[in-house]
Amino acid sequence: MAIYRVLIKTKDKKGLVYKISKIFSDMNLNIISNSEFVSKEYELFFMRSEILGDTLNIEELQSRLQNELPNNSEIKIIDTSKRKKIVILVTKEIHCLGDILMRNVANELDADIVEVIGNYNNLAKIVENFDIPYTTISHENLNREEHSNLISERLEKLDFDYIILAKYMRILPPSFVQKYTTNIINIHHSFLPAFIGANPYKQAFDRGVKIIGATAHFVTNNLDEGPIIEQGVMNINHTYSWKDMQKAGRDVEKMVLSKALKLIIEDRVFIYQNRTAII
């Protein structure tokens, strides 16, 4: 018995729940769970339903929904028996990658790691020991565009749903970001919008904050300004140097990225107006 997810984003109107649940009822579908959200500010309606069944006629459901819902509605029907596929980009740090790898081994991650790509090779052996391919694409002697083109070329050979930047410490150029819009997830090491840009822990030390954090967000061409998926924080105090913050912050970074990844894989994240609804 497969589980299907129906994701709907549309202009808010009276009676949407009734119209949608009528279609489910008419098609005799067994709803496991159902959640809705209405954004009053933007007059948008979001719905996520989980349906149990192995005889679902996806095309029929899609077309019935399309007929009943307003034009320009976004309707996605997802067969959860097809596991999602992710590619992970890294630089030198292991904590975020390592947390994902261990969740994978523990069957906590409901996705397949297709490949890890790094601009250094220091993490290659660890990744390969988990029977996951690792490709090194060095940035040495290349400008940003040249390097990202090499990554793009590699990605074109792979079949994947999401690109996870697990402390990938290089800025991706617009040409790259546009190709994978809404599919790149980054972990930033501050509670955005505080401390945008380079070395946020140093910035946090200089400002004398008592709390540091991390933010998982979609990557757009405005650096560190894409839709936020998940944030986490931890208390620090005056005894922390910025290097202490950096070390301590790893735990928040890895937890926040892994939580965001779980939400993404469970199809709970809807994007609108440079923000997310998690339903």
Q: Which residues are catalytic?
A: 224
Amino acid at 34: N
Distance CA 137, CA 140 (A): 9
> Per CB under 8 A, which region of 3-11, 113-121, 122-130, 165-173 contacts a second copy?
122-130
Burial state string for 127-148 with b = 16 or more CB within 10 A and e = fewer than 16: beeeebebbebebeeeeeeebb
142 binds a second copy (CB under 8 A): no
Strands 44-52 and 3-11 turn out to be antiparallel
- Written as six digits, the tokens of 157 are 């050979």
Per 3-state DSSP, the chain is made up of helix, strand and coil in percentages (nearest 5) of 30, 30, 35
**Binding-site member from 106, 156, 157, 159 for a second copy (CB under 8 A):** 106
The smaller minimum CB distance to a second copy, of residues 155 and 264, is found at 264
- Written as six digits, the tokens of 187 are 């972990």
Bridge partners (DSSP) listed for residue 90: 118
Tell me 220's DSSP state: -
181 binds a second copy (CB under 8 A): no
**Binding-site member from 184, 227, 257, 265 for a second copy (CB under 8 A):** 227
Torsion angle of the four alpha carbons 87, 91, 92, 93, in this order, in degrees rounded to the nearest 10: -60
**Binding-site member from 126, 158, 169, 171 for a second copy (CB under 8 A):** 126
What residues numbered 1-30 form the site for a second copy, per CB under 8 A? 14-15, 17-18, 21-22, 24-25, 30
The smaller minimum CB distance to a second copy, of residues 18 and 182, is found at 18
The smaller minimum CB distance to a second copy, of residues 38 and 77, is found at 38
Distance CA 237, CA 255 (A): 21
Binding mask 56-95 for a second copy (x = CB under 8 A): -------------------------------------xxx
The smaller minimum CB distance to a second copy, of residues 151 and 260, is found at 260
Residue ranges in contact with a second copy by CB under 8 A: 14-15, 17-18, 21-22, 24-25, 30-41, 93-95, 98-99, 101-103, 105-106, 108, 126, 129-130, 191-195, 207-211, 213, 227-233, 237-239, 241, 247, 250-251, 255, 258, 273-279
